[in-house]
A and B are shown apart, each in its own frame.
Chain A
Amino acid sequence: MIPDAIAASVLQSGLIPRGTRVQVFSEIYWVFLGLGTLVGAVVIGYMLKNAYKYSDRGGADEKERPKLGEMPTGGGKGKKLFLSLSLSAIIVISLIAWTYGTLLFVEGQTGDQGVDVEVEGYQFGWNFHYLNDDGEYSGVNTTGTLRVPVDTQVNLQITSDDVFHNFGIPALSVKGDAIPGETTETWFKATEAKNYTAHCYELCGQGHSYMEAGVIVMEEEAYNDWYAEQRASAENDSAGNIAAAGV
């Protein structure tokens, strides 16, 4: 496939921001902000300059002005217009094309490696179901706190138990819609072992403003210990349940 080949070579060129979501986001954001500010300043500055320069100060007027009742016309400066348009088109298209490479990188990251967690929104909180390597429920569930290992890709499968929510961890630049009956996939990688907060980003009812979850990024070892412990108690629970049910 030629497009794939092009995509791959562009991805390897080093031109395209890669890395964690935080890294790619901030790299692209600052380029956009810098260029956007520059373009805005130039255009608005040019506007203001002409506004000042051609303000009516009386005096002789050699130009032929529009008359009441004339057929609407207008024209001229077509070249200048298309030159400006082309310039702005080049800036916008190349910027977006540049970020498209990153989009391909970001979208290509889901899947094989790392920890898989199903995130389930409900009014008004979050459940986390940990999946095993086969993508099945591992029996480890938490409510209100997501624990993940540092420096590991975490793959999220986001869904909802009731209304439309949106799960996002702003400090880790990750976000996904939580839609009942559907799953959206995304991923993130935390590079520091510290605590973050996840929010709901879609109005979901009375408790929306406080619909949060804690995100605890743990050292790999601590995480493995915690996970093993959870696994064990989950197995005990299910064994206990089976025993209690008299099966």
Chain B
Amino acid sequence: MTDETQPRTDGGTATALPGDSHDDGSHLPPRWSIKRWLITTNHKDVGILYIVTAMFFLVFGGMLALLIRAQMWAPRAPGEGILSAMAYNQAVSLHGLIMVFWFLSPIATGFGNYIVPLQIGAEDLAFPRLNALSYWLYLASGLMVFASFFQGSTFAGGWTLYAPLNIPAFMPSIGATTTVFAIVTFCASVTVGGVNFITTIHRMRAPGLTMRSLPLFTWSWLLTVWMMLLAFAALLAACMILLSDRLLGTTYFAMTTDGGSVLWTHLFWFFGHPEVYIVFFPALGAMAEIFQTFSGNRIVGRKWFIVSMVLVALQSFIVWMHHMFLTSINLEVKTLFMATTIGISLPFDLMVFALIYTLIKGRIRWDTPMLYAFGALVLFIVGGITGVFLGAVVLDYEFRGTYWVVAHFHYVMVSGATALIGALFYWFPKITGKTYNEFLGKVSFAVFFTGFNLLYFPMFLAWGTPRRVFAYRPEYLVWHRIASVGAVILGISFLLIIYNLTKSLISGDDAAANPWPYSTTAEWAVSSPPPLENFPGTPSYASGALEFLGSDDDGSGAAAATDGGHATEHEEVHVDHASVWPFVTGVFSFVTVIGLSGLQVGSYPAGLEGLFYQATSVVGVVGLISAISAMGYENFTAHEGGFGETWPFGGVENTKMGMWVFLASDVVLFGAFIGASIFLRVAYGWTNWHPVPHNPIPGLVNTYLLLSSSFSVILALVAAKKHSRKGIVASLVITFVLGLGFLVNKGIEWLELFHEGVWLDSGVRASTYFLTTGLHMGHVIAGLLITAYLIWRAWNGAYSEGSGETLEYFGLYWHFVDIVWLFLFPLFYIV
């Protein structure tokens, strides 16, 4: 039984098919070519790009941390120390932002990219080009952060970006705008990535691999991307509103807007608390994999571990106000959020115990990955216990804004980083095909663990120090000194890690397909590194264990013949692995943002500088639209998958599912915008607030226009079923004309208001009206651009001869836009 059902892991079989010969077929240059890395859409390449880039940002964020610790070497009088007050505030803010957004999440995304498709038996992600686009948007957003340091000053208000310090009245530098833009771009990257991973994991699993039997790392990553999709939409809304305040002069967060500051804290923490778990979950999943492999035990209570993760992911959206116990929220709300906060700690207790009990009766091997994973769990326990202190509201009252919080969340977040470094060592042989230096790896862990505790533990002892200051009471001097020494030691450990891995990459021994005894997941069943199409045949768990079915025997799979060399070559559908457009889109996103960052409260700077920003904006926007259009027009075939469909995703094509998932994030985006309007209206006084447009009739007309346009999209679908080219074109033209009518009507209304002197900056009523309906109008404009494209394609017979699926996907989007209007119309025109 064993030999036949066991996958053939003797590397040789798998390596026979890959790589070079196949690369020609897919137009993908070899790995040593720079061009390959610019055009690749393969999930493994993109994963490597993510990991390497994230390591660069780790170094960048780490340098800022060392600057902070240098400044903290002694309590400083004004002007003393290596940093000025503003430079210190910038270092503090960007250290946090970079570590959270540009290191922790992306390095996990790197593993998600590389490992998850292998674990679930998918040849690639559902939308390979969107995956590359996620990466290039991420890199572009990171480069925006770099650039922001050279535009006067970068953001200097803390990673929480509290209002109203974040608006131009208090932080006028162009670099601050660029930083907010960078976050918006990062949100876009995350949303695109989330849609991709959710579709892939729900739809493209190997046959027989049910949701229940997904490996734990894949489970953790699936929940991470779900949380990302919904939480980052809230951050996107917050930062879009902030950008509107900064660029256009709306007054959401202005000092004089009632409720503006508190609105920011709600929007930010609605994102911010799930973000903690977004950062920690992949680390938890990696810990679970490493604990199982290196103890030689299957995880204890696997089912309950998964249930706990799901519970945490759900609960993460109802704890955000525990960051706001000292604002003016009332006792009832505090009590509620205190209860949910305790509630979310309990599933974590279970997971920690499950990991610990997995050690029992194991044969634990203390290779570097296990040292890091084990160390991470120890640190996480300390972080968890000190978090309970903060859950007690009376204690939180005193700890708020102090080093207790700093120490606590570093124990949690950096323990996540510790586990991810373990993951880096764990998967290094798989990703590179090389073996790292074990001795140096263990040394690096010893240095890391020492440095970590020297750095963060004294912060508990010096907890009376306020956060983000460099003047502190002299009695804390010794603790801050020890912390600074620890920071240097921790920094050295990262140099050791990077040296070890780089050296091993160049001159390490070749790694076996499966270097770790007792590993179980599918990535170890293929060569190191895996071939371009991942598997020597179609992976399947239908028989109860992994086997690779040759495509010759029609998937009947009698013998697990891993005759993969033929399998991929005989593949009938040609699958693409390269596109330059994601890269080009990333480049022009960067250019666009640099250009638009010059805009402040409706005007560009004077003189040559303003000219530069204006020209850059125009070049960027034109390039961006062209690049996205080119990507849409490009022919690109991806793997469809569709083996592991389960309710409710059965029979739903990838693109349709992707559209639904995207709309889910759009619901949160609009929800946040509408919620912000309602929140500000309540603070303003509900009944004193009158709709901005004097006359609801144009709005009512627009409601009818949009509803009829939804109907005409349905007519187009019906025509497509009847293969009537004329019918499709006619219905789409009607849709376009109705949509255009909506825009013209809206334009007239806005123009009238403008002439009356009512514009974006005329107070909070006007701000919410223009911005929220403006966001909707942006969606309408995007819809009309797509309609124009569809009309052109339909004219050439695209949907009358083939299937009308594209029309259906567009229809989903268009109906959604109409439904949103049904909420906006009463809210902004009638009540």
- On whether the beta carbons of A85 and B353 are closer than 8 Å, the reply is yes
* A197 to B7 CA separation, bound complex (whole angstroms): 69
Bound-complex Cα distance A236 to B731 (A): 81
Task: Note all chain A residues with C-beta closer than 8 A to B261.
Answer: 164, 179-182
Q: Cα distance A20–B780 when bound, in Å?
A: 59
Asked if A175 meets B398 with Cβ closer than 8 Å, knowing A54-B359, A84-B353, A107-B331, the reply is: yes
Q: Encode contact with A along B324-357: 1 for CB under 8 Å, 0 otherwise.
A: 0011100100110010001001100110111011
* Interface residue from B328, B374, B520, B521 paired with A51 (Cβ < 8 Å): B374
Are A75 and B374 in contact (CB-based, < 8 A)? Answer: no
Chain B proximity mask over A53-92: 1 for CB below 8 Å, otherwise 0:
0111000010101111111111111101110110011001
Taking the closest CB of chain B, its distance from the CB of A93, in whole angstroms, is 6
Interface residue range, chain A:
35 or more
Q: Is the CB of A182 within 8 A of B327?
A: yes
Closest beta carbon of chain B to A202's beta carbon, Å: 6
- When A92-B345, A179-B261, A203-B158 are in contact, do A75 and B331 touch as well, CB less than 8 Å? no
From the candidates A39, A66, A85, A208, name the one contacting B297 in the complex (CB within 8 A). A66
| Distance A29 CA – B460 CA, assembled complex (angstroms) | 13
Residues of A within 8 A of B541 (CB): 71
Pick out which of these stretches binds chain A: B464-472, B600-608, B721-729: B464-472
Q: Which of B49-57, B252-260, B445-453, B736-744 contacts A (4 or more CB under 8 A)?
A: B252-260
Provided the pairs A66-B292, A182-B327 are in contact, do residues A100 and B346 lie with their beta carbons within 8 angstroms?
A: no
Known: A43-B356, A72-B215. A203 touches B392 (CB 8 A): no
Q: Are A164 and B363 in contact (CB under 8 A)?
A: no
Most chain-B Cβ atoms within 10 A of its Cβ — which of A44, A67, A71, A92?
A: A71
Q: A56 and B364: CB pair below 8 A?
A: yes
Whole-angstrom CA separation of A139 from B361 in the bound complex = 74
Query: Are B469 and A208 touching (Cβ within 8 A)?
Result: yes
A41 to chain B, nearest CB (A): 10
From the candidates B163, B353, B365, name the one contacting A164 in the complex (CB within 8 A).
B163
Which residue in B260, B298, B391, B394 is a CB contact (below 8 Å) of A74? Answer: B298
Write the B365-393 contact mask toward A (1 if CB under 8 angstroms, else 0): 11000000010011001100110110111
A200 x B296 contact (CB < 8 A): no
Q: Which of B455-489 contact A (CB under 8 A)?
A: 464, 466-471
* Contact between chains at A72 and B302 (CB < 8 Å): yes
CB distance from A81 to the nearest CB of B (A): 5
For chain B, the count of residues having a C-beta within 8 Å of the partner chain is 113
Rounded to whole Å, the gap between the CB of B148 and the closest CB of chain A is: 18
Contacts A28-B395, A54-B295, A99-B395 given; does A92 touch B342 at CB 8 Å: yes
Chain B residue nearest in CB terms to A176: B326
CB neighbours (8 Å) of A68 from chain B are 6-7, 9, 514, 519-520, 524-525, 546
Q: Which one of B84-92, B313-321, B810-818, B822-830 is at the interface? A: B84-92
- CB pair A77–B9 under 8 Å, yes or no, is no
**Least CB separation from A171: chain B residue:** B464
A47–B88 CA distance with the chains assembled, in angstroms = 40
Is the pair A181, B157 in contact by a Cβ cutoff of 8 Å? no
Q: How far is the CA of A210 from the CA of B76 in the complex (A)?
A: 10
> B512-524, CB under 8 A of A: which get 1 and which 0?
0010011111101
Tell me if A115 is interfacial: C-beta within 8 Å of chain B: no
* Contact in complex: B258, A166 (CB < 8 Å): no
A204 at the interface (CB under 8 A from B): yes
Q: What residues of B have a CB within 8 angstroms of the CB of A95 in the complex? A: 388, 392
B547 touches A (CB below 8 Å):
yes
In the assembled complex, how far is the CB of residue B339 from the closest CB belonging to chain A, in whole angstroms?
Answer: 8
Within 8 Å of chain A (Cβ to Cβ): is B435?
A: no
**Does B262 belong to the interface (CB within 8 Å)?**
yes
Q: Are B165 and A204 in contact (CB under 8 A)?
A: yes
- Complex: A96 Cα to B519 Cα, angstroms: 41
Rounded to whole Å, the gap between the CB of A200 and the closest CB of chain B is 7
- Residues of B near A81 (CB, < 8 A) are 300-301, 304, 350, 353-354, 357
Contact A99 B393 (CB under 8 A): yes
Q: A163 interface residue, CB < 8 Å from B?
A: yes
Q: With the chains together, A168 CA to B401 CA distance in Å?
A: 9
In contact, B388 and A36 (Cβ under 8 angstroms): yes
Question: Nearest residue in B to A55 (C-beta to C-beta)?
Answer: B364
- Nearest chain-B residue to A89 (Cβ)? B346
Taking a contact as CB atoms under 8 Å apart, the answer to whether A163 and B389 are in contact is: no
Could you say which residues of chain B place their CB within 8 Å of the CB of A66?
292, 296-298, 518-520
How far apart are B588's CB and chain A's nearest CB, in angstroms? 34
Q: Give B240-262 interface residues, CB cut-off 8 Å to A.
A: 255-262
Given A54-B362, A99-B395, A77 contacting B357 (CB threshold 8 A): yes
Q: Is the CB of A203 within 8 A of B360?
A: no
Contact A50 B360 (CB under 8 A): yes
A74-B359 contact in complex given A68-B9, A68-B514, A84-B353, C-beta closer than 8 Å: no
Q: Is A135 on the interface with B (CB-CB < 8 A)?
A: no
Smallest CB–CB gap between B461 and chain A, Å?
12
Q: Flag if B349 contacts A182 (CB, 8 Å).
A: no
Secondary structure of the A contact surface, majority rule: mixed
Q: Is the CB of B214 within 8 A of A182?
A: no
CB-contact partner of A75 in B214, B216, B302, under 8 A: B302
Chain A's closest residue to B162 (CB) is: A164
Instruction: Tell me the complex Cα distance, A44–B356, Å.
Output: 9
CA distance A74 to B354 in the complex (A): 11
Q: Are A47 and B398 in contact (CB under 8 A)?
A: no
B748 within 8 A of A: no
Inter-chain contact count A-B, CB under 8 Å?
296
- In the assembled complex, the Cα of A73 lies from the Cα of B467 at a distance in Å of 45
Q: Which residue of A lies closest to B379 (CB)?
A: A44
Distance between B391 CB and nearest chain A CB, rounded to angstroms: 6
Question: Is there a chain A Cβ closer than 8 Å to B544's Cβ?
Answer: yes
Query: Is there an interface contact between A99 and B326, defined as CB atoms closer than 8 Å?
Result: no
Residue on B nearest A59 in the bound complex, by CB: B363
CB distance from A35 to the nearest CB of B (A): 9
Interface status of A19 (Cβ within 8 A of chain B): no
How long is the Cα–Cα vector from A65 to B334 in the complex, in angstroms? Answer: 48
* B residues less than 8 Å from A76 (CB atoms): 300-301
Q: Mark B159-182, 1 if CB is under 8 A from A, else 0.
A: 000111100001100000000000
Q: Closest Cβ of chain B: how far from A237's Cβ, in Å?
A: 28
Q: Which residues of B contact A126 (CB under 8 A)?
A: none
Smallest Cβ distance from A97 to chain B, in angstroms? 9
| Among A50, A168, A209, contact of B470 (Cβ-Cβ < 8 Å) | A209
User: Would A181 and B259 be within 8 Å (CB), given that A170-B464, A206-B89 are in contact?
Assistant: yes
- For residue B135, give the distance in angstroms from its CB to the closest CB of chain A: 29
Q: Given A73-B213, A164-B165, answer yes or no on A88-B349 (Cβ-Cβ < 8 Å).
A: yes
Q: What A residues does B208 contact at CB under 8 A?
A: 71
Residue of A nearest to B355 (CB): A47
Chain B residues contacting A200 (CB-CB under 8 Å) are 466
Residue of A nearest to B160 (CB): A203
CB <8 Å contact, A203 and B92: yes
Inside 8 A of B163's CB, which chain A residues have their CB?
A: 164
The reply on B677 being an interface residue by CB < 8 A is: no
Decide if A141 is an interface residue (CB 8 Å cutoff): no
Given contacts A96-B342, A170-B464, contact A44 B303 (CB under 8 A): no
Interchain CB contact under 8 A, B466 and A84:
no
Q: Is the CB of A201 within 8 A of B389?
A: no
B78 adjacent to chain A (CB < 8 Å)? yes
A163 x B255 contact (CB < 8 A): yes
Q: Does A102 contact B (CB under 8 A)?
A: yes
- Which A residues are in CB contact (< 8 Å) with B158? 203
Query: Quick check: is B418 within 8 A (CB to CB) of the other chain?
Result: no
- Can you list 21 A-B contacts (CB < 8 A)? A47-B377, A51-B364, A61-B363, A68-B514, A71-B213, A71-B545, A72-B214, A77-B301, A81-B354, A88-B349, A92-B346, A176-B326, A180-B261, A181-B258, A182-B328, A201-B466, A203-B157, A203-B158, A204-B165, A208-B469, A209-B471
Further pairs besides A69-B5, A103-B334: 15, Cβ < 8 Å: A32-B392, A56-B365, A69-B7, A69-B547, A71-B544, A80-B353, A81-B300, A81-B357, A88-B349, A103-B331, A103-B394, A163-B162, A163-B170, A173-B397, A210-B471
Q: Please give me the 3 A-B residue pairs with the lowest Cβ-Cβ distance, nearest first.
A: A201-B401, A74-B302, A69-B546
